[in-house]
């Protein structure tokens, strides 16, 4: 009898072990993992430095409560602020919780700190900000909202990369604009530079907060620590989670000092947020990324992957376009990609969709040239089967 809610459209694999870029199922079969657990295991499975650090922390301290401070949490907050140009950090357990914190602090700042009546947040069509009630409301995709209405009010939605629609949405109640620099779940849609610069200008003119959702794009994924660094931006709030602790549950909402007053004692909290084990893993992740120069590595390998995919697929009848940054790449096709992905899985390459027509590739930051070549060949073969 099934005992787990059927909330996931699971693929027919049961994995028992991971090592680097590889997953091993219960039959001993080996799969090349180009999903990274949905941009989570950015350093691959069971990275030895993270394993060692976490094992050591297990012998020290697991949990206190956020009424007390711990060294791993303080150390991680210091690293994140130094590497992001932010000043304060709130720790939680997931991306949705980080976005919830961002929504709360933006509203608190807009209504109480500035003594104005600002509470609305502009988000964008095809965005994805989480599955809690508030982050569902923030998400610009109706398909994830079915059955959960009425949702919280206070969100306006604009087409992505549409400057005119953005200007029409801004009003006296707008407290923040919230966006992903690359919409991962929405189809690997990349923000246009002119659009981002217009957002920057409007935020400055109207004193609107800028929230950048880096849940999927952060921690080196796009060839910078955070994706917003590709654009000339200074956000007020950043959210991050997935890749931060390489598989252990953690999320973080980072903000500039001007928002500090809006999260005063008692205004927000999280029982497990920033627990010592997750923070230890996250500290190890950031150390490895810095010591091994993996941000540069991700940019280089991402360029290689994109170039090889373009060379192999540019004349393929089923492929519409290939886009992305770093190691977040989408192959948009002219039809549904379910069967193509199934073919790749049959050839032991794990990829996932981003909407019905886009194949999403998320290899880890340590992906090798040989693994890239294997993946590109498998993708080409799967698409050729589709085209027969």
Catalytic residues: 128, 213, 242
Q: Which residue has the tokens 């995919």?
A: 309
Q: What is the 3-state secondary structure (H, E, C) of 67-102?
A: CCCCHHHHHHHHHHHHHHCCCEEEEECCHHHHHHHH
β-sheet bridge partners, residue 9: none
Which residues does residue 252 pair with via DSSP β-bridges, in sequence order? 91, 240
Q: For residue 148, what are the CA distances in angstroms to 38, 74, 145?
A: 24, 38, 6
242 φ, ψ (degrees, to nearest 5): -35, -65
* Residue 187: strand, helix, or coil: coil
Neighbouring residues of 132: CB distance < 8 A, sequence distance ≥ 6: 96, 97, 100
Q: At CA 191, angle to CA 83 and CA 377, rounded to 5?
A: 90
């Amino acid at each position: 009898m099934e005992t787990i809610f059927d909330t996931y459209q699971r693929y027919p694999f049961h994995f028992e072990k991971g090592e680097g870029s590889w997953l091993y199922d219960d039959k001993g079969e080996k799969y090349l993992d180009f999903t990274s657990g949905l941009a989570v295991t950015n350093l691959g499975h069971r990275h030895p430095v993270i394993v060692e650090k976490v094992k050591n922390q297990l012998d020290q301290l697991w949990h206190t409560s956020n009424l007390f401070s711990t060294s791993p949490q303080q150390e991680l907050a210091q690293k994140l602020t130094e590497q992001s140009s932010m000043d304060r950090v709130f720790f939680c357990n997931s991306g949705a919780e980080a976005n919830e914190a961002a929504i709360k602090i933006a509203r608190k700042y807009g209504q109480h700190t500035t003594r104005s009546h600002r509470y609305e947040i502009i988000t964008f069509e095809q965005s994805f900000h989480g599955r809690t009630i508030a982050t569902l409301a923030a998400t610009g995709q109706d398909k994830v909202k079915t059955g959960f209405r009425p949702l919280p009010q206070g969100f306006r939605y604009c087409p992505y990369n549409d400057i005119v629609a953005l200007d029409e949405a801004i009003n006296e109640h707008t407290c923040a604009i919230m966006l992903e620099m690359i919409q991962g779940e929405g189809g690997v849609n990349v923000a246009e530079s002119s659009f981002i610069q217009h957002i920057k200008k409007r935020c400055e003119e109207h004193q609107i907060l800028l929230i950048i959702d880096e849940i999927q794009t952060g921690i080196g994924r796009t060839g910078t620590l955070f994706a917003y660094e590709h654009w000339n931006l200074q956000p007020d709030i950043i959210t991050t989670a997935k890749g931060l602790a390489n598989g252990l549950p953690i999320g973080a909402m980072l903000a500039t000092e001007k928002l500090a007053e809006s999260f005063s004692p008692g205004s927000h909290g999280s029982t497990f947020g920033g627990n010592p084990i997750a923070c230890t893993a996250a500290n190890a992740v950031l150390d490895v990324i810095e010591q091994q120069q993996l941000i540069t590595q991700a940019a280089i390998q991402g360029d290689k992957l994109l170039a090889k995919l373009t060379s192999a697929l540019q004349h393929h009848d089923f492929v519409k376009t290939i886009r992305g940054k770093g190691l977040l790449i989408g192959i948009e096709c002219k039809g549904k990609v379910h069967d193509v992905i199934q073919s790749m899985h049959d050839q032991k390459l794990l990829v996932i969709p981003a909407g019905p027509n886009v194949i999403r590739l998320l290899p880890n930051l340590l992906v090798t040239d040989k693994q890239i070549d294997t993946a590109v060949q498998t993708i080409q073969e799967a698409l050729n089967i589709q085209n027969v």
